[in-house]
Amino acid sequence: MSKINYSNKKKNKDIIIVGPPRSGTTWIGKVLSANEGVKYVHEPDNERVKFLGYYYKKGLHRFSYLKKDSTNEGYLRIFTKALNKKYLFNEGHYNHAFYRATSLTKEKIENNLSGNGINDEKHPLGIELIQPFFNLFLLSDNRKTILKSVHACLSVPYLVKNLEVDVLVVIRNPLAVVSSYVRMKMLEANRHLYRHKRVWNDFIEPRKEKFNKLHTPLEMYGFQVGLLHYALKKYSEELGLTVVRYEEFYPNPKEKFKEIYDDYGLLWNNTVEEYIDALNKKGSGYNTNRNIKEQFFEFKNHLTKTQVAQIIKGYNVFENQFYSF
């Protein structure tokens, strides 16, 4: 394999991909890491499936909100370990072993998150005893890293300040995003961010008259996507981040991916093209397969006019958005 050239403006920085759930972040992340010289790390801060995420996000919201000057050593440790090491917890045996050792299950963690979206339950007895083993299973890995997180959207300034990374923001039509939430019955659709005091004060309180007029689930789903989009637009303008619209990959994803590869100095070759072709078939659920022609605008077949209006009402609580309705 040819040596990867990192000599462009992005140099050799690792990349963190952020965007609301169901925006295409996993698909994009896996395509960008299709070559052997790049490693992909999937949602290390997802406390439901990553033990380090559970352990170090103690007291933080599912969609953690850390400002540029915030201090949270645990949260930062999740990302430094994932970026700098061979992340053996990535859906691996060690990750599951730690969950079993502490009798933690997805259901228990979800019950804790379901109220206000915060991981605030007391850690299981004995959890501190296994903490020394965390580093035992982390090996050095100097490959360029593509890290994907849907839960770090509100903490981008904090990550940019404390990590030597580029952040790629991925957005998608909120109607498509919410339609996917509904079809998949996703609990992520509404994590009650409005109950988070600092999120309320910084984002919602100035718009509380609009917010107080929201009542239906779809309005709240649209609102959460709107909040995340509003924050990401603000951050991207302030920090000069790259923003990619999911719709830009239609109808020829290779063209857009080639552009991103060139921008980040990644090696584009037959392996990448073949990988994109292999994914270009009908998929469902969390599968990264997608039939480009069928799935990009599939949401239009699943939403009524009333549902569309409700989603837009929630989304438009925030002004100056990525998508105008």
- Res 25: pLDDT: 97
Domain boundaries, the chain: 14-174+239-290
Is the sign of the CA dihedral 165, 150, 84, 143 positive or negative?
A: negative
- Cα–Cα distance measured from residue 19 to residue 246, given in angstroms and rounded to the nearest whole number: 10
Give the helix ranges, DSSP H, for the chain. Answer: 25-32, 51-56, 73-84, 93-101, 106-113, 127-130, 156-162, 174-184, 197-199, 208-211, 217-239, 253-264, 270-279, 292-295, 305-315
Q: Is 170 helix (H, G, I), strand (E, B) or coil?
A: strand
- pLDDT average per 10 residues of sequence, the chain (325 residues): 40 92 96 93 92 89 97 94 70 71 82 79 67 67 92 99 98 97 96 96 98 99 99 98 96 95 96 93 58 77 96 98 97
The pTM is what?
0.90
CA atoms within 13 A on the CB side of 254: 13
Phi, psi of 270 (to 5 degrees): -65, -30
Q: Which amino acid is at 168?
A: L
The distance in angstroms from the start CA to the end CA of the chain is 47
In 10 A of CB 69, how many CB atoms?
Answer: 8
CA atoms within 13 A on the CB side of 181: 25
- Res 289: pLDDT: 52
CA angle 120, 196, 54 (to 5 degrees): 30
CATH for 14-174+239-290, among 1.10.287, 1.20.1300, 3.40.50, 1.10.150?
3.40.50
- Cα–Cα distance measured from residue 325 to residue 284, given in angstroms and rounded to the nearest whole number: 28
